[in-house]
Amino acid sequence: MPSATDRLRQEHQTIKGALEVAERIAAKMNRDEEVSQEEVDKLMEFICLFVEQCHHSKEEEILFPLLEKKGIPADGGPLGVMLMEHDRARGLIEEMSTAAGNGLTPDAAKRWMQAAWNYSDLMHDHFYKEEEMLFKMADRVLSQEEQAAIAGAFKLLEDEKIGEGKHERLRSMMEALNAQNP
């Protein structure tokens, strides 16, 4: 069974696929090409549910508080930086949702495109920091039993936040969307 931190690393790979889709859609907008509202809606659903409701909640509600108890500093330390970046990500998602919410007029598409580029840059940088620093620290301070208990809590969180089976369906949807958009 993969450890809790390995599960988060795997989710990063799926989310990076979503960022690729976002960048491709933004590139089309930049060339003034028509984009599919349905694709944008699916991508936004994935970001709101898979990334925000599940992935970031697993970190904020389960992993980070435990790491703080283990002595990894929050305020001003690595956990504080990660939380600040989650907040910045939420602001950019809000901008994207607002821009896409009333139909993608040329003006709305430009606003969506800019926010999507900023979001993608932020998330790539954020994942790099988590994978290269925070998760490695976590792997040093957490026992195998703790990793297994956290992984179990992650599964319960998914079911509670978005309903049983939805996490897996969102992952498949994103893989299909990415495959359609080579």
| In the complex, least distance from residue 38 CB atom to Fe ion, rounded to whole angstroms | 28
Within 53-82, the residues that bind Fe ion by CB under 5 A are 59
Closer of 42 and 58 to Fe ion (Cβ): 58
Residues 155 and 167 sit within 8 Å (Cβ to Cβ): no
Distance CA 81, CA 160 (A): 27
Closer of 59 and 158 to Fe ion (Cβ): 59
Site string for Fe ion, 2-41 (x = CB under 5 A): ----------------------------------------
| In the complex, least distance from residue 113 CB atom to Fe ion, rounded to whole angstroms | 24
Closer of 47 and 113 to Fe ion (Cβ): 47
DSSP labels for 59-121? IIIIIHHHHHHTT---TTSHHHHHHHHHHHHHHHHHHHHHHHHT---HHHHHHHHHHHHHHHH
**Which tokens in the block code for residue 56?**
């970031």
Closer of 25 and 63 to Fe ion (Cβ): 63
| In the complex, least distance from residue 117 CB atom to Fe ion, rounded to whole angstroms | 19
Closest CA to 67 of 142, 162, 176, 9: 142
The footprint of Fe ion on this chain (CB under 5 A) covers a number of residues equal to 1
| In the complex, least distance from residue 20 CB atom to Fe ion, rounded to whole angstroms | 18
Total residues belonging to the chain: 182
Interface residue list for Fe ion (CB under 5 A): 59
